């Protein structure tokens, strides 16, 4: 039977909720002097693989989180909804999201997840041209095809307990081949709720790029308890321009770090640059005739900085472990012993990590201007 | 090409978030002495019509909201995702949700939305056997088929500005026929963000059942600002048992009211019963030798009760408009003039409504026990 | 024995807490077109009568509350701390507070409490020259002396259950004499935790000025649960200038109202002027081609306005009782029936009161500009 | 002139606020297996020296903070309010507070502050019999008299910048004499807003007891931003019984630590005992067939524990710095490598300090029961 539906008017009565207006949840990190700091979630699922939402929700969540870019990386080989969604084109979620994102200031990166048992496990290919071409039985051929399309390819959740029973990321011969042949360019040191220090070690030893992603299947708000102040794990990317090309260039150059819980993970160079942009130390004044100096520390980032004092000085209002809350200014009262016009403070940054149990050490000059 | 995927292990690494644990957002109203108070959202969409989520998210949201029952009422005629989801069985979202809901204490009511231009506009049919059988061109025949299946049928958003440019619900000849023939049993007085006092008048004049629903297409958390303390609109149903049959019997008997924003809307009889179960007044004590009586008012519901005093007495700590916060106890200091063992308080309940601008008036006896 | 204390340095090491910086608790009401809206607490105690704090704390609390003026109205006759604080000068707390208030933008009004059994009960005399001169056995002579000093005198807590066992404010012959002789100019309709509609009636019948005060003895933060969002009761005074003289002129002219809990109490003229300054209604736009008009209501005050609709129109997103939160904008969707360039809304203001159970009715024109 | 005040009824109209009911702000630490953990503020001022409140407010604040004991330690020699409060008995605030505290479960310790320029600076004497007897010009004689009365005497704010311009606590000959003669028994390592690692070193080198106090002069709520989640600094005392004698015995035996901001400061032995009582580690289960063990850490104290991992194991959901929020349970996912029935976790406790930059290291066995 055929339905004639004349004058059919469907659209939501009144859209009340203007999404993107809740500024509290927007993730905020400062730019570097020479690069923009872009916030990206590069591992996401929708109903077009095993996720639970239509692509528009991924756009909506990303706008609310203040992200610059997302990639909907549907499993190529794992399609549990295929009875209901048999569409043969594996670019569908990218196409739909791109259309929906148009009125928003959000970049959609074309991606897909090459989904195999271990080795090589799962990997994401970003900046691809056509996901359908990646459906190749031989895994190495799939990586080759991704690279032919110009993709940045990274190893997903190498610590995943369904593929690694001890939760420990380990290299295999196949990974060595992929890396040596420059077919694999990055590795997740953070995936969803997990952080892998062994993956971080692999990224250092093999000189591949460390990344953090959500791998979200359900709702970001539920999984990361946004209402309680949580945030999804993302990759902070230091780009020359706010475009898909800019992100691609930055990733291939390794200019990024992972942001997870209250942890910043990655290469020392980029962590220190971000910390230098996030924290500013200002010489305020000595308290009256004393030699106790007020130093104002301003944190312009979402990270709660946890500083361990390695300076020669002690502080009058703090022990050697100091927390500087996100987007706040804290005044340190430094016992300088005698009034000077410049001092140097020396901290270990406990909420940043560059390798197993190793945190960056940073010196900050504080001068009277 | 055929893919052989041996040892393919897919499932989420670790499911961290145990949904349903956030008790703050669970909607809570007390039972009546003779009936259970069930919370139901009877108008919901998923990707199987024009919604944005897979059915599992609707289950998850409902469990978090503490609902007893939901119905996924997909449009029969409006299928904007049909290119991607061409499944011919219009019962799919019911089947999927029923499977997912099994481990949860959530009832899934089989329903569908008969989606027409005005008249008769949109209507939901609940407690159906087979949605596919409802796809009939003639609207009255569609209602007839729904009734053949034993459905409870209600008129959706009669105030919808896409079908009523002035936002005013109005009867038509076709509605009169449907009601007279007992093919249409209820009407939404609340839909999503709207409350229609004209719909309430129709429900009274035509003796059909007033209901409140969310008609959610996106995410409940965003649309109703759950993190800011909002809730979705629902129908409170006074049932003999917590089963689909119990709900059906209650709806046909008209034992329900709508809960919207801070408003309770419906028939005076059921509003008063619910208010009587929600508010208890307790004779506490006179203050010392005075004739000022302390009366404790306890509110065991989610509604912030707004009481306008029509008693002969005045209060020492309040004007004539008194708010009793949800799940709290407030002490009134009543100027009784001379000590008595029983007084009667008389209030207009401003956050409940029985017809245009009319609120229930209720007397509460407060006696020394 | 005599102590020689050389080099004695006492002052607090570092004063960390800069009081007055917590903007959330500052009481805020807009000015009127022709007058400043000043916030004053005109009934306060310190250790110099039966209060529990030194005058500096009263200054500190007032600055934090954003008040413009306070009066420390110590009991003249009731001096429970007199064994410890036998100072014969009853102006001490005024003198101390005036000195402490100098660096702050806070006016200190010289006052005292004439403290008698009923009749006439307690009364505050403000704008006095010398509290010591008011210590006169005959109460009427005390009022005469206060008036000789130019005082504004008001009747304190006429509903006080220690002097009125039924909590009901009642005139006496002595009060009639005091009022007739123009020795008594005002009456507390609000004192601490109490509101007296009978006092409000007296203020109307006798044409004396209605006031609201805290009568604080302990800490404002504890008594009024500031951390939970409470505020102390105060008098809002509509003055030509922000000076003690300006306040005096306004009080004698009756230009003030009481602010208590969420209630505004006083004379209709001044309530309506304040409400007109607090609420602005803006014609926004019709929704698409419909006749549903968006009207933005902006509340620039601390009061949560509770509006009961008496207009011919109904609202699409609200019942007839509408709450407009403090310092917020709410959009009403008005069913205008056909598009017009100007409509009139008509509300009863439930959180304002002009006499027993009577709230002001106000019309608001909303025009396309 | 003499006033005859017949029928004079003064008392506060209605005391609404039942202080002590706000459980959120009550300071909570668990008892040790062999001792009670008592919370005491041993350095407090009222209007009877240079404080700003009557003693009843100090009782009220202490009850709200859930303290077990306070001492009102008025300056003996510094009496800025003496023109208004000339009372010759320096025990007044103790007498008044003791009377007021009767209905509450709060111990009042008789104390006084011996207030001198440096050396020896200020010192508190607790458990005295008569403050008046301590007013002796020679400071050593004053300490001798305090000791004659059985007092526990401690050095106040040795880092006070009004007496030490560099904010650095330093021993003097006079302090050496007082300590050698056992006239001085303790030292504030925490006073108000300051923590002194040099004072902590003195307490270790000289084997005197480290203490933390508020030295409050104004309001606890303002100085320590209670509404924002702050708390006053106190001493946690491990006592055999909850009596003044029990506290005295514990202090002389050195069984106490200071609690400041989020820092626990003191002797390693007592810090470790408190931490052992505060944190419990529970063997939960391995995740499925994996070797990843869930360990539940429960924190039953007000401290946010900051743990640095020194174990051989890494964690799947955390880096090596782990925060365990107050009164919460956190689940660690430990990569045990192969399933075992017992593991040992090894942490440095960063929010506890035993000497300059040194934190306790603790091992926790976690066994399957």
Number of H-type helices and E-type strands within chain B: 8, 21
- Three-state DSSP state, D108: strand
Residues from chain D contacting residue C2 (CB–CB below 8 Å): 137
Q: Which of B15, B77, B80, B222 is the best residue to mutate to test the A interface, defined by the most A CB atoms within 10 Å of its own CB?
A: B222
Per-residue pLDDT at A8: 37
- Three-state DSSP state, C239: strand
Residue C16: pLDDT over 70: no
Residues from chain B contacting residue C309 (CB–CB below 8 Å): 357
Residue C369: pLDDT over 60: yes
Residue A14: pLDDT over 80: no
**In Å, what is the CA distance from D299 to each residue of A274, D2, D310, D325?**
33, 64, 19, 7
CA A247 to chain centre: 12
Residue D10: pLDDT over 60: no
Q: How confident is the model at residue B11 (pLDDT cuts 50, 70, 90)?
A: very low
Q: Which of D166, D319, D322, D337 is the best residue to mutate to test the A interface, defined by the most A CB atoms within 10 Å of its own CB?
A: D319
Per-residue pLDDT at B209: 98
A341 touches B: beta carbon within 8 Å? no
Residue C15: pLDDT over 80: no
Q: How confident is the model at residue A5 (pLDDT cuts 50, 70, 90)?
A: very low
Per-residue pLDDT at C22: 62
Instruction: Provide the mean pLDDT of chain C.
Output: 93
How open is the CA angle A292-A295-A296, to the nearest 5 degrees?
150
User: Tens of pLDDT along A132-162?
Assistant: 999 999 999 999 999 999 999 999 999 999 9
Other residues' Cβ atoms within 10 Å of the Cβ of residue C253: 12
Closest CA to B352 of B268, B238, B255, B265: B265
List chains touching D (3+ CB pairs under 8 A): A, B, C
Per-residue pLDDT at A19: 53
Per-residue pLDDT at B212: 98
The share of chain C scoring above pLDDT 70, in percent, equals: 94
User: Tens of pLDDT along A50-71?
Assistant: 999 999 999 999 999 999 999 9
User: Tens of pLDDT along D39-90?
Assistant: 999 999 999 999 999 999 999 999 999 999 999 999 999 999 999 999 899 9
Contact A194 D321 (CB under 8 A): no
Per-residue pLDDT at B65: 98
Per-residue pLDDT at A207: 98
Per-residue pLDDT at A3: 38
Average pLDDT over every residue of B89-111: 97
Q: In angstroms, rounded to a whole number, what is the distance separating the alpha carbons of residues D84 and C48? A: 9
User: Tens of pLDDT along B323-349?
Assistant: 999 999 999 999 999 999 999 999 999
Q: In angstroms, rounded to a whole number, what is the distance separating the alpha carbons of residues A184 and A143? A: 8
Q: How confident is the model at residue A6 (pLDDT cuts 50, 70, 90)?
A: very low
Record the pTM. 0.93
Average pLDDT over every residue of C65-70: 98
Q: How confident is the model at residue B266 (pLDDT cuts 50, 70, 90)?
A: very high
Closest CA to C53 of D304, D220, D353, A27: D220
Q: What is the DSSP letter of C19?
A: T
**In Å, what is the CA distance from D319 to each residue of A355, A359, B212, D45?**
10, 11, 48, 45
The helix, strand and coil proportions of chain B, stated in percent and rounded to the nearest 5, come to 20, 30, 45
D296 contacts D331 by C-beta, under 8 angstroms: yes
User: Tens of pLDDT along C70-79?
Assistant: 999 999 999 9
B193 contacts C317 by C-beta, under 8 angstroms: yes
The DSSP secondary structure of A3-14, one letter per residue, reads ---TT---S-S-
User: Tens of pLDDT along A97-137?
Assistant: 999 999 999 999 999 999 999 999 999 999 999 999 999 99
Higher pLDDT, B369 or B149: B149
Other residues' Cβ atoms within 10 Å of the Cβ of residue B183: 19
User: Tens of pLDDT along A182-215?
Assistant: 999 999 999 999 999 999 999 999 999 999 999 9
Contact D314 A356 (CB under 8 A): yes
Residue D17: pLDDT over 60: no
The share of chain D scoring above pLDDT 70, in percent, equals: 94
A14 touches C: beta carbon within 8 Å? yes
The share of chain B scoring above pLDDT 90, in percent, equals: 93
- Three-state DSSP state, A237: strand
Residue B8: pLDDT over 70: no
Q: How confident is the model at residue B230 (pLDDT cuts 50, 70, 90)?
A: very high
Q: In angstroms, rounded to a whole number, what is the distance separating the alpha carbons of residues C114 and C122? A: 6
B314 touches C: beta carbon within 8 Å? yes
Contact B194 A13 (CB under 8 A): yes
Pick C287's closest partner by Cβ from A14, A287, A333: A14
Q: How confident is the model at residue A23 (pLDDT cuts 50, 70, 90)?
A: low
C35 contacts C250 by C-beta, under 8 angstroms: yes
User: Tens of pLDDT along C156-172?
Assistant: 999 999 999 999 999 99
Q: What is the DSSP letter of A116?
A: -
D202 contacts D3 by C-beta, under 8 angstroms: no
A228 touches D: beta carbon within 8 Å? no
Q: In angstroms, rounded to a whole number, what is the distance separating the alpha carbons of residues B345 and D361? A: 65
Residues from chain A contacting residue B10 (CB–CB below 8 Å): 50, 75, 78, 80, 115, 162
A5 touches B: beta carbon within 8 Å? yes
Task: Supply φ then ψ for residue C43, to 5 degrees.
Answer: -150, 100
Per-residue pLDDT at B4: 36
Average pLDDT over every residue of C249-256: 98
B287 touches D: beta carbon within 8 Å? yes
C160 contacts C191 by C-beta, under 8 angstroms: yes
Q: In angstroms, rounded to a whole number, what is the distance separating the alpha carbons of residues D278 and D33? A: 11
Residue D152: pLDDT over 60: yes
Per-residue pLDDT at C359: 98
B3 touches D: beta carbon within 8 Å? no
Separation in Å, CA of C342 to nearest CA in chain A: 23
Residues from chain B contacting residue A85 (CB–CB below 8 Å): 84-85
Per-residue pLDDT at D12: 34
Q: In angstroms, rounded to a whole number, what is the distance separating the alpha carbons of residues A321 and A330? A: 13
Average pLDDT over every residue of C343-359: 97
Helices C92-101, C55-64: crossing angle, 10 deg rounding: 50
Q: Which of B4, B13, B229 is the best residue to mutate to test the A interface, defined by the most A CB atoms within 10 Å of its own CB?
A: B13
Residue A1: pLDDT over 80: no
Q: In angstroms, rounded to a whole number, what is the distance separating the alpha carbons of residues B360 and B362? A: 6
């Amino acid at each position: 039977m055929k339905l004639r539906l004349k004058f059919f008017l469907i659209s939501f009565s009144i859209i009340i909720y203007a999404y993107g207006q809740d500024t509290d949840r927007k993730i905020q990190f400062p730019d570097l002097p020479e690069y923009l700091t872009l916030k990206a979630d590069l591992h996401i699922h929708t109903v077009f693989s095993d996720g639970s939402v239509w692509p528009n929700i991924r756009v909506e969540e990303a706008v609310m989180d203040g992200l610059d870019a997302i990639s909907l990386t549907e499993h190529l080989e794992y399609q549990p909804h295929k009875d209901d969604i048999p569409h043969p084109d594996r670019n569908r979620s990218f196409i739909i999201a791109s259309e929906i994102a148009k009125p928003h200031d959000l970049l959609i990166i074309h991606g897909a997840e090459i989904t195999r048992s271990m080795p090589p496990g799962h990997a994401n290919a970003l900046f691809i041209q056509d996901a359908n071409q990646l459906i190749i039985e031989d895994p190495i051929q799939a990586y080759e095809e991704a690279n032919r399309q110009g993709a940045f390819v990274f190893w997903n959740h190498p610590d995943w307990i369904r593929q690694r029973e001890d939760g420990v990321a380990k290299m295999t011969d196949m990974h060595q081949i992929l890396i040596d042949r420059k077919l694999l360019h990055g590795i997740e040191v953070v995936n969803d709720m997990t952080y892998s220090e062994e993956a971080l070690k692999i990224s250092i030893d093999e000189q591949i790029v460390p990344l953090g992603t959500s791998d979200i299947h359900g709702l970001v708000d539920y999984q990361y308890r946004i209402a309680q102040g949580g945030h999804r794990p993302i990759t902070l990317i230091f780009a020359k321009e706010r475009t898909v090309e800019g992100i691609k260039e930055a990733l291939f150059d390794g200019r990024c770090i992972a942001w997870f819980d209250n942890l910043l993970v990655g290469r020392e160079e980029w962590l220190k640059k971000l910390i230098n942009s996030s924290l500013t130390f200002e010489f305020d004044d000595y308290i009256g005739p004393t030699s106790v100096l007020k130093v104002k520390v301003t944190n312009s980032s979402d990270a709660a900085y946890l500083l361990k004092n390695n300076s020669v000085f002690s502080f009058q209002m703090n022990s050697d472990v100091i927390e500087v809350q996100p987007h706040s200014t804290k005044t340190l009262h430094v016992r300088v012993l005698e009034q000077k016009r410049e001092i140097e403070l020396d901290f270990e940054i406990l909420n940043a990590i560059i390798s197993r149990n190793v945190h960056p050490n940073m010196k900050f000059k504080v001068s009277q201007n």
